[in-house]
C-alpha cells in the first residue's frame, strides 16, 4: 500500500480557470508540471474542476490547510487509485476527509497514451 502522510500545505498564489469536464480523460491537455487540479464536485454528469497554475503574481490564493497526502506514479487514468489509498488510511486512522481534493502534477509523459504521470494527491483533513 502506498505511503500516506499528514502535511501542512502553505497558501499558494497563482492563476486559475474553472471548467466542467465529462471525465478525467478530458483533463489531459491541462496536465503540465506544477499544475494543481482542484476537484470541486459534480454538476449533473460533469465534473467541476479548477486548473490552478502557481505564480507569485497571481490573482487567486489557495488557502493553507492540513492534508492527507499520497503520491501516485502511473497511468493518468488510474490516479483514482490514490483516493482509495487515502480513504482506507482515513478509515484505519479514524480521520475524516474533506474537500476539495487537489492533485499536484510533478511529471507528465505525453508520449504515452494515456499519459504517464507523477502526482501528489492531497485531500483536506476535517
Instruction: Quick: pLDDT tens for 6-25.
Output: 999 999 999 999 999 999 88
Instruction: Tell me how far apart the alpha carbons of residues 19 and 47 are, in angstroms, rounded to a whole number.
Output: 8
Q: What is the CATH number of the domain that holds 92?
A: 3.20.80.10
C-alpha cell at 113: 497514451
Please state the domain count of the chain: 1
Q: Give the pLDDT confidence of 66-120 residue by residue, as tens digits.
A: 999 999 999 999 999 999 999 999 999 999 999 999 999 999 998 888 889 999 9
Q: Which domain holds residue 54?
A: 4-124
Model confidence at 63, pLDDT cuts 50, 70, 90, reads very high
Residue 124 above 70 pLDDT?
A: yes
Amino acid at each position: 500500500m502506498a505511503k500516506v502522510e499528514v502535511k501542512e500545505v502553505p497558501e499558494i498564489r497563482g492563476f486559475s480557470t474553472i471548467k466542467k469536464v465529462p471525465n478525467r480523460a478530458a483533463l489531459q491537455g491541462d496536465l503540465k508540471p506544477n499544475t494543481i487540479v482542484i476537484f470541486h464536485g459534480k454538476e449533473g454528469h460533469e465534473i467541476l474542476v479548477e486548473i490552478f497554475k502557481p505564480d507569485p503574481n497571481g490573482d487567486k490564493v489557495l488557502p493553507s490547510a492540513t492534508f492527507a497526502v499520497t503520491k501516485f506514479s502511473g497511468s493518468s487514468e488510474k490516479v483514482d487509485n490514490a483516493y482509495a489509498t487515502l480513504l482506507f488510511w482515513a478509515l484505519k486512522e479514524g480521520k475524516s476527509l474533506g474537500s476539495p481534493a487537489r492533485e499536484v502534477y510533478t511529471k507528465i509523459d505525453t508520449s504515452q497514451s494515456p499519459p504517464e504521470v507523477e502526482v501528489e494527491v492531497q485531500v483536506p483533513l476535517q
